[in-house]
């Protein structure tokens, strides 16, 4: 998801954020990481003279480019590399009628006759191909050699002692907007992102989410530690189900004054919101912007590997809650041990009487039920229940992005009607929500275009072959850990979880086939690395914006969260080993 989607999605909280932020020195420019003095941007007779005395041209600070700019340079770089890297291809096998996958040890050089004009055309239409390009399908090889067929059968493996049917096929063909064959573009994911954007925005527009958080905050105002636990659980559920990120910015103005008023410091409030949602995103179970996009790019079902991710979510959330609680207790017992100093107005917040809560209407309560049930149905619909027991096969829905997109569109309509937005308000909310999420959707298309350029130039298998040699000596457990660690620097370069997934999965997922690791485990490794990095990376506007609103310096937050980051890093590596050792959790090799 993109950094500035929140601007029009937090209409209900904008005034509170602006009033509270300005009163405490957090002007709107601070959301972009512009952390200056307490009264930045306010000109008075006292400050005018100082401004006139300053240098006319302030120093320009380096600003990390957006995900679009990073992907553009990656796109051009990959296109240039197609002239340098020699094309090659593996032999491919289809296991029990599934998607073709490369057969280890069969790589060979091939000739790709593409003129400069054709290569330039591929670059020109790469975002279009990334959205709805069609790829010429593989064809069955009529008489494969016995040796190749034996290698293909070895690649497919056995189930319950029986050989999985293996069929040698040709490598998939080129992708283009006018081809006939299989959809290679990400249009299904693209539309799903717009649909979930519409659903979330319409829900926020009803005021139900703000009212719900406010109600919980007020009810447990006198029981601070319990309030911390409940709020962190709420934010973590948002993170694991739909990658709650930008939405959190609207809650700093609601939660931080209450936390400070209870005798804690501002880092506790930051921990509740940023760490709570961040840990949930790290252990995403069905997060469409991370798990969903990556699963689609890897060619696996969204529910594959959900067992391991559920365990990771439970463990990581528990650890994060205990971590924040321990710090909160220490600060309340001895304020001198706070890692961030109190700012002007904190004492007033601590001594101010609690105001009456904003009452929740019946419509808002019903909206929250619809909101929760919609995400509950999404989780239920993608879990492969039949994989756990044949008796559960009848309840396995097997939904994918088309059905899920329809679910959220219907949900948006229901929420709009029940929430009292009216026909015009509902339609406006749906359009506004889709517009807010269009950036994330376009990133997916652009990143998929990079893959199309590599495939059409015949260098994808060449890169895979080079990486196959690098990981061939690794055990399956070591491979899973390496996949996790390799994705960490990629997450720094591409903070967008969906862009990172679409860019990396087409290369990394097939590597799992060579190492005997399920592609679902590669997805889990990617999303864990992305979530871990986005807990603290300075390239994330969510991190810098939340700290600016909280008036907490980045270095102090980094000192606060560093031990937790170390714990999560080690535990994630251990979970990678567990997922490989127990395929029922991490996902079976297919």
- pTM over 0.85, yes/no: no
CA proximity to 536, closest of 561, 500, 568: 561
- The reported pLDDT for the residue numbered 582 is 92
Q: Which residues pair with 101 in a beta bridge?
A: 93
Residue 16 has pLDDT above 50, yes or no: no
CA distance 288 to 437: 12
Please count the other Cβ atoms lying within 10 Å of the Cβ belonging to residue 166: 21
Q: Does residue 63 or residue 490 have the better pLDDT? A: 490
Q: Does residue 289 or residue 472 have the better pLDDT? A: 289
- The reported pLDDT for the residue numbered 482 is 92
**C-alpha atoms less than 13 angstroms from C-alpha of 284 in its C-beta half-sphere:** 37
- The reported pLDDT for the residue numbered 32 is 32
Q: At 212, is the secondary structure helix, strand, or coil?
A: helix
Q: Are strands 182-183 and 134-135 parallel, antiparallel or unpaired?
A: antiparallel
H or E, element range at 403: helix 401-418
Residue 132 has pLDDT above 70, yes or no: yes
Write out the two tokens for 5.
Answer: 């989607």
Per-residue pLDDT reduced to its tens digit, 418-451: 999 988 999 999 999 898 888 878 887 887 888 8
- The reported pLDDT for the residue numbered 430 is 93
Q: What's the mean per-residue pLDDT of the chain? A: 81
Residue 407's pLDDT band (cuts 50, 70, 90): very high
Residues 6+ apart with CB under 8 A from 72: 446
Q: Does residue 392 or residue 23 have the better pLDDT? A: 392
Task: Say if residues 16 and 23 touch (Cβ distance below 8 Å).
Answer: no
CA proximity to 499, closest of 6, 62, 3: 3
Per-residue pLDDT reduced to its tens digit, 215-244: 776 777 678 899 899 999 989 998 898 787
Residue 277's pLDDT band (cuts 50, 70, 90): very high
Among the ranges given (76-80, 370-374, 399-403), the one the predictor scored with the smallest mean pLDDT: 399-403
**Phi, psi (degrees; rounded to nearest 5) at 111:** -105, 125
The stretch 523-552 carries a mean pLDDT of 86
The stretch 93-100 carries a mean pLDDT of 84
Q: Which residues pair with 176 in a beta bridge?
A: 134
Q: What is the CA radius of gyration of the chain?
A: 25
Q: Does residue 36 or residue 538 have the better pLDDT? A: 538
Task: Say if residues 431 and 408 touch (Cβ distance below 8 Å).
Answer: no
Residue 49 has pLDDT above 60, yes or no: no
- The reported pLDDT for the residue numbered 37 is 34
Residue 45 has pLDDT above 70, yes or no: no
- Residue 111 CA: distances (Å) to CA of 108, 114, 158, 206, 375: 10, 9, 34, 59, 48
The stretch 206-222 carries a mean pLDDT of 77
Q: Which residues pair with 162 in a beta bridge?
A: 159
Residue 503 has pLDDT above 80, yes or no: no
CA distance 518 to 512: 6
Residue spans of alpha helices (H) in 516-553: 519-533, 541-550
- Residue 289 CA: distances (Å) to CA of 41, 197, 363, 483, 533: 35, 11, 29, 19, 16
Task: Say if residues 206 and 415 touch (Cβ distance below 8 Å).
Answer: yes
Share of the chain above pLDDT 90, in %: 31
**Phi, psi (degrees; rounded to nearest 5) at 209:** -65, -45
Task: Say if residues 190 and 131 touch (Cβ distance below 8 Å).
Answer: yes
Residue 22's pLDDT band (cuts 50, 70, 90): very low
The stretch 177-183 carries a mean pLDDT of 87
Share of the chain above pLDDT 70, in %: 83
The stretch 405-412 carries a mean pLDDT of 93
Please count the other Cβ atoms lying within 10 Å of the Cβ belonging to residue 526: 29
The stretch 280-304 carries a mean pLDDT of 86
């Amino acid at each position: 998801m993109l950094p500035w989607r929140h601007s029009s999605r937090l209409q209900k909280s904008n005034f509170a954020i602006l009033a509270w932020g300005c009163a405490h020195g957090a002007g709107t420019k601070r959301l972009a990481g512009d952390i200056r003095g307490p009264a930045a941007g306010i000109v008075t007779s006292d400050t005018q003279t100082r401004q006139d005395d300053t240098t006319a041209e302030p120093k320009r600070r380096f600003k990390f480019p957006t995900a679009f700019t990073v992907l553009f340079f990656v796109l051009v770089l990959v296109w240039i590399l197609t002239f340098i890297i020699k094309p090659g291809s593996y032999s491919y096998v289809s296991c029990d009628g599934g998607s073709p996958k490369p057969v280890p040890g069969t790589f060979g050089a091939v000739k790709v006759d593409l003129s400069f004009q054709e290569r330039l055309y591929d670059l020109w239409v790469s975002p279009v191909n990334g959205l709805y390009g069609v790829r010429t399908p593989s064809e069955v090889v009529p008489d494969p050699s016995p040796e190749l067929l034996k290698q293909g059968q070895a690649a497919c493996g056995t189930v319950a002692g029986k050989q999985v049917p293996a069929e040698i096929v040709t490598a998939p063909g080129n992708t283009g907007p006018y081809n006939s064959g299989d959809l290679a573009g990400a249009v299904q994911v693209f539309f799903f992102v717009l649909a979930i954007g519409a659903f979330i925005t319409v829900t926020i527009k009803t005021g139900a989410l703000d009212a719900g958080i406010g109600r919980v905050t007020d009810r447990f105002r006198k029981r601070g530690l319990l309030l911390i636990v409940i709020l962190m659980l709420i934010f973590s559920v948002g993170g694991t189900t739909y990658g709650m990120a930008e939405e959190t910015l609207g809650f700093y103005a609601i939660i931080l004054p209450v936390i400070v008023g209870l005798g804690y410091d501002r880092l506790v409030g930051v921990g509740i919101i940023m760490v709570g949602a961040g840990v949930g995103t790290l252990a995403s179970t069905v997060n469409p912007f991370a798990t969903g996009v990556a699963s689609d790019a890897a060619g696996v079902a969204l529910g594959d590997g959900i067992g391991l991710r559920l365990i990771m979510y439970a463990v990581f959330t528990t650890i994060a809650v205990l971590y924040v609680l321990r710090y909160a207790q220490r600060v309340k017992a001895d304020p001198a041990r706070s890692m961030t100093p109190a700012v002007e107005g904190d004492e007033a917040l601590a001594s101010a009487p609690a105001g009456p809560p904003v009452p929740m209407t019946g419509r808002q309560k019903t909206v929250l039920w619809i909101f929760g049930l919609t995400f509950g149905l999404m989780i239920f619909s993608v879990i492969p229940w039949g994989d756990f027991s044949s008796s559960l096969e009848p309840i396995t829905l097997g939904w994918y992005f088309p059905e899920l997109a329809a679910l959220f569109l219907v949900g948006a309509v229901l929420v709009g009607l029940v929430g009292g937005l009216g026909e015009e308000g509902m339609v406006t909310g749906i359009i506004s929500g889709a517009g807010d999420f269009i950036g994330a959707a376009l990133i997916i298309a652009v990143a998929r275009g990079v893959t199309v350029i590599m495939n059409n130039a015949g260098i994808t298998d060449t890169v895979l072959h080079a990486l196959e040699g690098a990981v061939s000596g690794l055990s399956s457990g070591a491979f899973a850990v390496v996949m996790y660690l390799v994705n960490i620097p990629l997450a720094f370069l591409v903070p967008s979880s969906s862009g990172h997934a679409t860019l990396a999965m087409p290369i990394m997922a097939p590597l799992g086939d060579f190492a005997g690791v399920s592609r679902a485990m590669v997805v889990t490794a990617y999303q864990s690395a992305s979530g871990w990095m986005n807990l603290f990376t300075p390239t994330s506007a969510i991190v810098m914006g939340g700290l600016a609103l909280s008036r907490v310096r980045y270095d102090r937050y980094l000192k606060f969260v560093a031990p937790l980051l170390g714990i999560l890093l080690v535990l994630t590596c251990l979970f990678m080993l567990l997922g490989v050792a127990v395929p029922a959790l991490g996902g079976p090799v297919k």
